[in-house]
Structures are given as structure tokens and as C-alpha cells.
Structure 1
Amino acid sequence: MAITELFSVDDVILDAVPGSKAALLDQLSVEAAGRSGRPASEILEALLAREKIGSTALGRGVALPHTELPDLAAPVVLFARLQRAVDFDARDEEPVDLVFLALWPASNRKGLLSAMAEICGALRDPQSLRRLRGAKTPEDAAQIVLQAVAQDEEDRDCNDATPGF
């Protein structure tokens, strides 16, 4: 299932104010619980277990916390922009202010990998990151994300169709 089918303005949180990585993951767990019907404590526990494996910070102020949950009925994708960046143990040591959360049914691991690839591809463009940081409304942020995903997909299609020299 493509991000464009999962992500809407209702999945955008602007100007969140967590004081730490732990507080952010807790806040996102509560939001995701409301959408998934799963307990926030279960989601938080799974996210923290994933973070113990290694930070899900991508660099350039972006993080993609993600996990698989058994018996999750449908994927959940959220985007949060933070008022103040938090330390997320990023390799580039940059604090994180843009966060995508992806919760996925454990029975569909391939779907999670595909969704994460879409999100990462969309976030490669520094201009998209700048636009997300300046978005005035959740509608603006959702549109920026969906445009970036579509543009990355178009770029990949063009590159795949271009013969190598």
C-alpha cells in the first residue's frame, strides 16, 4: 500500500512540543493508538524496542521511527513537525524536528519496507524539508509530503527508463 493511499491531512501534527525523544515517542504512540485501536503502551514499547536496535534518525533533522505490530489491522503513518528539535541520537548529531511514524502489520513486512523507501525518497530533497519546516497548516504539510512522494516516484521512473551510458 502506497503512502499516498495512507497519508492525509488528518495524519499531520504541527508544532508538537515534546521535550525529549522519549516524550516524542510517547506522544506519537498516543496519537497512533487513537488511529489503530491498539494500546498506546503497546505501541510505545514496540517503538522503544526498535530504537534500542539503533536510532531511526535519518539525518538532516529527520527521523522515521517505525515498527511492526502483530495483528495490526491497517498501517498507520503520521507526520509531526516539532516546535523545538530534540536529540534523537542521529549519526550526523543533528537534532530532529521532522518525524514520520510508520506502524505496520507484522504480516506485511514488505509493505513496511516499501513505505519507508517512499518516505526516505521523498525526504532526499532539501527543498521539501525546507518547505515542511515552513508549512503554515496541516493541509500545506500533507500536500508537501504527497508532492514530494509523487516527485520522487516520477524521478525514479524517469531514471529507470533512461538507458545507461
Structure 2
Amino acid sequence: MPIADLFPAAEGILSLTPANKTELLELVSAAAAARMGRSKDEVLDALQARERLGSTALGRGVAMPHTRMAGMDKPVAILARLTRAIEFDARDGEPVDLVFTVLWPEDASEGFLPALSNICRVLRDNQLPRQLRQARSADEALAMLRAADHTAPDARPEED
């Protein structure tokens, strides 16, 4: 799934100041729940259950909390740029300051892993996380995400 489909508008990009991992998950759960019309606790419980299986920190200051939930119509994604890095149990020991939260409809499992994989792929380029950390606005961060996504229809090379 192209990143532009996961992040259709800048409202999915937040600047947050959590004190720790628990508070971060509470904040993104509240933001996601408001977009989904669900309770914050329901979203938080799902994200915490996934974190109990193992940290979703990817390394290099990036985490991707994710889960599938019943009763969702479409995926919800939120990018949170933290004003101060927090401990997130990352394997590389680096604190996290960029957090991609992805909530996916349980009934639409076919797109879940490709969407997560696409986010990981665009983040492999060291430039994108650096650029996202320096973005002056949510709109600018969204433009950076879209530009980095080579799966987007307008980013594919033209055929002869």
C-alpha cells in the first residue's frame, strides 16, 4: 500500500512530548481512536498486547507500533515525531523519536504486511528519518513521506 494511502492528510502526523513508552502509546491511541470512532482504551489495549510480544522499535530512533483490530473499515496510520527521544526497548539501545503507528482492519489481512514492509523500506534510507526530524510542519513531513515512496503510482518509472 502506498504511503499516501496510509497518510492521506497531514492530520496523521503529530508532534508529541511523551515522558515514556506507555505515555506515547496512550497519546497515539487517543489520536487514532478519535479518527476511528473507537475508545482510546480499546486501541491502547491492542497496541500494548502487540508490544508484549516484543518491542516494535526498528532501530536508529524509529519505532512502528502496529496491530490488527476487528471492526475497522480502513487502516489508520499516525506518524509521531517526538520532541524528546524516549526509551522503547530497541535492540540497538537507541531511544526513539520517530514513531509510525499502524492499525489495520483484521478482516483485510492481505495488505497489512506489505504496508509495514513499505514503511520499513522507505525508512532504510538514512536521509528520510533525518529529514522527518527536521521537517518544519506536518505538511512538509507528509510531502517527504510521499516523495520517498517509490510504490506510489506517480513515482513509478514510465514504460516505453
> Normalising by structure 1, what TM-score?
0.89
| Alpha-carbon distance, 1:149 to partner | 1.5
Q: Alpha carbons of 1:109 and 1:71: their partners in 2 closer, same or farther (altered >3 Å)?
A: same
Q: Which amino acid aligns with 2:96?
A: V
Tell me whether 1:12 sits opposite 2:13 in the alignment: yes
Tell me the equivalent position of 1:44.
44
Q: Any residues of structure 2 matched to 1:91-102 within 5 Å, and which?
A: 91-102=91-102
What is the rounded CA distance, in whole Å, between the counterparts of 2:24 and 2:112 in structure 1? 21
Task: Determine if contact 1:122/1:151 at 8 Å carries over to the other structure.
Answer: no
Q: SS state of the match for residue 107, structure 2?
A: helix
Quick one: percent identity of the two aligned structures? 46
Q: Any residues of structure 2 matched to 1:52-71 within 5 Å, and which?
A: 52-71=52-71
What is the rounded CA distance, in whole Å, between the counterparts of 1:109 and 1:81 in structure 2? 27
| Alpha-carbon distance, 1:43 to partner | 0.4
Task: Determine if contact 1:82/1:97 at 8 Å carries over to the other structure.
Answer: yes
| Alpha-carbon distance, 1:22 to partner | 0.4
Higher helix proportion? 1
What is the rounded CA distance, in whole Å, between the counterparts of 2:55 and 2:20 in structure 1? 14
Task: Determine if contact 2:3/2:152 at 8 Å carries over to the other structure.
Answer: no
Tell me the equivalent position of 1:129.
129
What is the rounded CA distance, in whole Å, between the counterparts of 2:69 and 2:145 in structure 1? 24
Unaligned runs of 5+ in 2: none
What is the rounded CA distance, in whole Å, between the counterparts of 1:52 and 1:81 in structure 2? 23
Q: Which amino acid aligns with 1:27?
A: L
Please list the CA deviations of residues 16-40 of structure 1 after superposition, one character each: whole Å capped at 9, or x if unmatched.
1000000000000000001111111
Pairwise CA RMSD of aligned residues?
1.9
> Normalising by structure 2, what TM-score?
0.91
Tell me the equivalent position of 2:89.
89
Task: Determine if contact 1:2/1:115 at 8 Å carries over to the other structure.
Answer: yes
Tell me the equivalent position of 1:162.
none
Q: Alpha carbons of 1:151 and 1:73: their partners in 2 closer, same or farther (altered >3 Å)?
A: closer
The runs of 4+ residues in structure 1 deviating greater than 2 Å are 150-155
Q: SS state of the match for residue 150, structure 1?
A: coil
Q: SS state of the match for residue 100, structure 1?
A: strand
Q: Alpha carbons of 1:118 and 1:68: their partners in 2 closer, same or farther (altered >3 Å)?
A: same
Task: Determine if contact 1:11/1:77 at 8 Å carries over to the other structure.
Answer: yes
Unaligned runs of 5+ in 1: 159-165
Comparing 55-64 with 69-78, which one deviates more in the overlay? Answer: 69-78
What is the rounded CA distance, in whole Å, between the counterparts of 1:93 and 1:129 in structure 2? 17
Q: Which amino acid aligns with 1:49?
A: A
